[in-house]
Amino acid sequence: MSTGGEEMDIQGFQKLTLLDYPERVACTVFLAGCNFRCPFCHNASLVTRVDTSRNIPEERIFSFLEKRAGILDGVCITGGEPLLALDLEEFIKRIRSMGYLVKLDTNGSNVNRLEYFLRKGLVDYVAMDVKNSPAKYGMTAGIEDYSTQNVRESVKLLMKGRVPYEFRTTVVREFHKREDFEAIGEWIRGAEKYYLQSFADSGDLIRPGLHGYTRQLMEQALAIVRKYVPNAQLRGT
């Protein structure tokens, strides 16, 4: 249990992933709760229907990690939005004390907390979602009139290169057009890594009835962003 006295809302645990943490063998912990309501979110049950009775005890995670020492390289912490978890710092410290690397997934909306975690050396890799062009951010994040200030500051923070990082965009036909890829490319020009991943219906969505791009259209989107981020890649298509 974290020092705050309450268990975190861990509601998913993948014991092995070769994809979530680049070039590492890892496991993935899913934390419930998010401040965004992205219509295409593939983990809607972690966002809109947080049921603490489904929580996985932290000790079960740590017991697993003790047994996998020397086999796994790291732990991916995703959500939801992990930076909302009040006891995240203590949870990560305990993971790191066991010799594991930590990858953090975030939507970038809490730049102050992200900066704190980087300054304290608590994370080794950050994957940040770039939901869409700034002009369509609120619509895409499911929050009308959303201010992108914190997200923009998080982008700047990560591009300082304190830790390895990536930006990624889930491409949805109903939300992303050619001009959006131009705007995103200009925004994150020169980024270390950027991935476009086509939306796929997980069956656990906030808004059903959305569609991904075809491979051909994904290639066209990639060509646009590569004008600004030459090493941009497609993922999962």
Identify whether 98 is part of a domain: yes
- What is the number of structural domains in the chain? 1
Residue 170 — pLDDT band, cuts 50, 70, 90?
very high
- 65 contacts 26 by C-beta, under 8 angstroms: no
pLDDT score of 185:
98
What integer best gives the mean pLDDT of the chain? 93
Arithmetic mean of pLDDT, 147-162: 97
Query: Do the domain assignments include residue 62?
Result: yes
- pLDDT, residue 115, reads 98
Does any domain span residue 178? yes
Residue 5 maps to a domain: no
Helix ranges (H only) for 8-57 are 44-47
Say if 185 falls within a structural domain: yes
Per-residue pLDDT at 3: 47
Strand (E) or helix (H) holding 92: helix 88-97
Of 202, 170, 206, 172, nearest to 47 by C-alpha is 206
Q: Is residue 213 part of a domain?
A: yes
pLDDT in tens, 71-87: 999 999 999 899 999 99
pTM of this structure: 0.93
Residue 204 structure tokens: 């656990």
The residue range of the domain holding 87 is 10-235
235: three-class secondary structure by DSSP: strand
Q: Distance between CA atoms of 101 and 112, rounded to whole angstroms? A: 22
User: Domain holding 231: CATH number?
Assistant: 3.20.20.70
pLDDT reported for residue 237 = 67
**Is residue 138 packed enough to be buried (19+ CB in 10 Å), middle (13-18) or exposed (0-12)?**
middle
Say what the pLDDT of residue 6 is. Answer: 64
Report yes or no on 1 lying in a domain: no
pLDDT category, 5, cuts 50, 70, 90?
low
Is the pLDDT higher at 47 or at 116? Answer: 116
In a domain, 4, yes or no: no
Question: Which DSSP state fits 204?
Answer: -
